Amino acid sequence: MSALYNMPMIPKAVWNQYATSADILKNLNQNGVGTGPYTYKTAAQDRMVWVKNPSWWAIKALSLSVQPTYIVDIVNSSNNVALGQLLSGGLDLDNNYLPGIAQIVNGGYGVTTYFANPPYMLGGNTAWLIPNTKHKPLDDAAFRRALAEAINPQDVVVKDYGNIVAASDPTGLLPVWSKYVDAAQVKSLGATFNTAKAKSDLAAAGYKTGSDGMVTNKDGSAIKLNLEVPDGWSDWMEAENLIAADAALAGININPTHPDDATVVNDEKGTSSAAPTFDLVINNDVQIGNTPWVYYDYIFRQPEIAAGAARNRNYEQYDNPAAWALVEKLDQTPVEDTADMQAICSQLQKIQLTDEPVIPMWYNGEWSQVNNSYWTNWPSSTGNQVQPATWNGYWQMGAIFMLTNIKPVAH
């Protein structure tokens, strides 16, 4: 089912004639075959234009019709440019992260978001602090748990994002999956921010505190963990500084770094000849899916995908065959069998909350800001509760209903 949501289908009769990836990349596919509500019209350096498809299959099959005749997809050079276009009415919908959107929503500009109040945005994915479990002391579950206790996600929510995101549940499961969260187990096992407890748990696990107030490895050697986020990702760069400051209060030495994006990706995935080299990264690769399987497949995938470009699961290199067996069982459980799915998720949560292979931090927003000057009835928590984003895969997960529900404003 997850594949149906997120994997584009292509006509075999057209594409099986291309034997290699190189052949496929040479083909411009200028007369591509598709089944969507729009077809390609034209393009320029700063935009692509799509026109309504009168033969869209859903018009007859589902009595649906998209409202705009044209979709103009604008290429923006920066978030500031996008913000200016949104405020002026040059953009109807913006799905980028826009700093200060809380003030804009309340500033009388006619700009609205999914929620009228904090966090303003739906949770689109979970941002985790991911430890490399092959590096000491991150190979120790007790250290990872203390690290989770040392960090206050609310600092990131308030000081970095200005309340346009929300701190995550200790399981990290998105709000859309809340029915699968074992609340009693979370209460008993979930790590919550507590500097004093982080210190005592580190001491109980055998970590000593040096004269500088920072904990050392069990052999007495210094701990210095590099945390990487891509340079220019201003929200994550601020987040890593806040994370490092919180951790330092518990005696954990984290060094915030922000190399270029390609370096972060290489350090995170490794190469064909070298294992991943990072200590800590922030990652939010898993998007909304129809069940939590997509989430647990990401965390617990076995066997590990070989290092290099294809590596896109289990970045932390956590090895737990029992957890993977549960993920496979979850994959084979019918989605309508809620009770069995909840039972399996509870078992996975027990493993996750005990071992902390990843440390959930906050729900990264499904960024969506709209200007109501020309179109209204956009997705909202009090109106049409459909997906408000146009990111990869989101059209198939319900965002297409956004274009069937919006209404033109009379002028």
Dump pLDDT digits (tens) for 203-249: 999 999 988 999 999 999 999 999 999 998 888 999 999 999 999 99
Over residues 68-83, mean pLDDT: 89
Question: 131 with 88, same domain?
Answer: no
φ, ψ for residue 159, nearest 5 deg:
-80, -30
pLDDT, residue 3, reads 59
Q: What is the pLDDT of residues 344-367, one digit of tens each?
A: 999 999 999 999 999 999 999 899
**Helix ranges restricted to H, 62-175:** 79-88, 101-105, 141-150, 153-155
- Which whole-number Å values give the CA distances from 372 to 171, 284, 316, 406, in the listed order? 36, 30, 43, 10
pLDDT, residue 353, reads 98
Indicate whether 47 pLDDT > 70: yes
Q: Which of 109, 118, 116, 145 is nearest to 129 (CA)?
A: 145
Question: 286 with 376, same domain?
Answer: no
Over residues 123-149, mean pLDDT: 96
Over residues 80-104, mean pLDDT: 90
Question: 10 with 114, same domain?
Answer: yes
pTM for the full model? Answer: 0.85
Question: 211 with 303, same domain?
Answer: yes
pLDDT, residue 229, reads 96
Question: 355 with 216, same domain?
Answer: yes
Q: What is the pLDDT of residues 251-271, one digit of tens each?
A: 999 999 999 999 999 999 887
Indicate whether 2 pLDDT > 60: no
Q: Which of 406, 411, 312 is nearest to 69 (CA)?
A: 406
pLDDT, residue 19, reads 78
Mean model confidence pLDDT for the chain = 91
Q: Which helix (H) or strand (E) element contains residue 371? A: strand 369-371
Residues 41, 33 contacting (CB under 8 angstroms): no
Indicate whether 31 pLDDT > 80: no
Indicate whether 28 pLDDT > 80: no
Indicate whether 71 pLDDT > 60: yes
User: What band does 5 get if pLDDT is binned at 50, 70 and 90?
Assistant: low
Question: 283 with 375, same domain?
Answer: no
User: What band does 169 get if pLDDT is binned at 50, 70 and 90?
Assistant: very high
Indicate whether 156 pLDDT > 80: yes
pLDDT over 90 percentage in the chain: 72
Tell me how long the chain is: 411
| Greatest alpha-carbon span in the chain | 74
Over residues 94-105, mean pLDDT: 88
Tally of structural domains, the chain: 2
Indicate whether 389 pLDDT > 60: yes
Question: 128 with 72, same domain?
Answer: no
Question: 132 with 89, same domain?
Answer: no
Domain carrying residue 265: 123-365
pLDDT, residue 142, reads 98
Question: 134 with 27, same domain?
Answer: no
Q: How far is residue 184 CA from its own chain's centroid?
A: 26
- Segment among 16-20, 88-92, 258-262, 371-375 with least mean pLDDT: 16-20
Q: Which residues have CB under 8 Å from 8's CB, separation 6+?
A: none
Q: What is the SS3 assignment for 158?
A: helix
pLDDT, residue 4, reads 60
pLDDT, residue 254, reads 98
The domain spanning residue 116 has which CATH number? 3.40.190.10
Over residues 161-181, mean pLDDT: 94
User: What band does 20 get if pLDDT is binned at 50, 70 and 90?
Assistant: confident
CB atoms within 10 A of CB 389: 24
Indicate whether 1 pLDDT > 70: no
- Segment among 311-315, 355-359, 371-375, 398-402 with least mean pLDDT: 311-315
The domain spanning residue 191 has which CATH number? 3.10.105.10
pLDDT, residue 7, reads 65
User: What is d(CA 403, CA 363) in angstroms, rounded to the nearest whole number?
Assistant: 25
Question: 278 with 220, same domain?
Answer: yes
Question: 264 with 171, same domain?
Answer: yes
Question: 127 with 93, same domain?
Answer: no
Q: Which of 141, 128, 138 is nearest to 355 (CA)?
A: 141
Among left, alpha and beta (phi > 0; psi -120 to 50; other), residue 245 is alpha
